[in-house]
Amino acid sequence: MPSSSYEADLSYAQQEDRADPLFSFRERFLFPQHNGADVRYFCGNSLGLQSKSVKYLMEKELADWARHGVEGHFNAANPWFSYHHLFEDRLAQVVGALKDEVVAMNTLTVNLHLLMLSFYRPYGTRYKVIMEAGAFPSDQYAIETQVRMYGYDPADAIIELMPKEGAHILEEDDIIKAIEAAGDSLALVMMGGVNYYTGQFFDIPRITAAAHTAGAYAGFDLAHAVGNVLLRLHDWDVDFACWCSYKYLNSGPGAVGGAYVHERHGNDPSFFRLAGWWGNDEKERFKMRKGFLPQQGAASWQMSNAPVFNMVAHNASLDIYEKAGMKALREKSDRLTGYMEFLLKQITGLPFEIITPADPKRRGAQLSLLFAERGREVFDKLTENGIVADWREPNVIRIAPVPLYNTFEDCYMFYKVLADIS
């Protein structure tokens, strides 16, 4: 439906909710309370909500530990030895990869370092990394220390892409031009999939193709893309990617991260990776022999045995994702974010602009509102009204209308607070 069909009206919003085939999914989640009612939660891009099944599943795992002790590795209902295999199909679905190309392990920044150790192998004149300026700080620290480790000066080795003067988002053409200009000095393009601050969804296949033409690898930090936008990592020929699962994927604070490695690297035993016993060929793992034999695929980057308790909520979440379906979620997400955008455009009395791309293909479930002034006042008013949004110093409010549990009514109530104070 064209956006012109949207209406800034509560009964319209409620009617949209009744027509929403995914509406009932919100019943599966626990919402923080405000004055005895569920908050309207727009922070799913920061920390997703807990699904109601987690408590029961966690207790089941604890009971298996109590009952089996060490034998739980093989005799638990979900044997711990192979726990990460339980959901690899569903995880692969979410990122558009083959089953062997993904693994849940470690946490995001750790995975970024481990994958860079494989994919950032500077030599001769080829040592530069392209990234977006203003990337999440952890990514900046990781990339800076990686180039330092090889003796390079970050100011020289890291090419940071900045928006044009006065703009907030990068032009896709400028990204490609920068990659072409770096040419054979370029070792790696390492960007976010969706920028955490602006919500810009980069053209991953185009960037990847340009990186490959330049003779470089292309890797993506999908923290804000996974479970949010449709990804086809394998078809897009992406070399590697990593993500966390506590944002859109609702797997809980500090939940296990994920990694993707294209099969042409993952199935090549001579491709460099730091080794641990969990990445070893599973049939040989308990033989305790000398000599690392990498198993097939991304799983060979695993080092330690899998954090089972940490994966319980992840498993539950991927179940919900499978039932809802990424395609249906993305369709609702487009409409929901489009509705929020439409509502915000009705507000004339507050000094803010939406810095997230207006093209729905270039964004996911996030809008970033940059305030010239009064941002903090608006944010506090939202909080008073039981609306949870995200404040980023000095003057940005980020909101994520998440299709799994946000409603059109939530968007309307957000708008109402702004309309009332403007």
The residues binding ligand PLP (CB under 6 A) are: 107-109, 136, 138-139, 192, 196, 221, 223-224, 244
Q: Is the dihedral of CA 41, 43, 107, 242 positive or negative?
A: positive
What is the rounded CA–CA span in Å between residue 52 and residue 64? 20
Closer CB to ligand PLP, 10 or 110, in the complex: 110
Cα-atom radius of gyration of the chain, to the nearest Å?
A: 22
Closer CB to ligand PLP, 42 or 196, in the complex: 196
What is the rounded CA–CA span in Å between residue 280 and residue 286? 10
Smallest CA-to-CA distance from 105 within 135, 85, 79, 127 is with 85
Q: How far is the CB of 198 from ligand PLP (least distance, A)?
A: 12
Please calculate the CA angle 221-222-223 and round it to the nearest 5 degrees.
Answer: 100
Q: How far is the CB of 375 from ligand PLP (least distance, A)?
A: 21
Q: How far is the CB of 108 from ligand PLP (least distance, A)?
A: 3
The two structure tokens encoding residue 70: 């060490």
Q: How far is the CB of 190 from ligand PLP (least distance, A)?
A: 11
Q: Cα 103 to chain center, whole Å?
A: 15
Closer CB to ligand PLP, 72 or 193, in the complex: 193
Closer CB to ligand PLP, 195 or 337, in the complex: 195
3-state SS string for 164-202: CCCCCCCCHHHHHHHHHHHHHHEEEEEEECECCCCCEEC
What is the rounded CA–CA span in Å between residue 292 and residue 130? 33
Burial class (CB in 10 A: 0-12, 13-18, 19+), 71: exposed
Smallest CA-to-CA distance from 40 within 288, 409, 287, 372 is with 409
Closer CB to ligand PLP, 131 or 418, in the complex: 131
Closer CB to ligand PLP, 13 or 229, in the complex: 229
198 within 8 A of 370, measured Cβ to Cβ: no
Closer CB to ligand PLP, 215 or 254, in the complex: 254
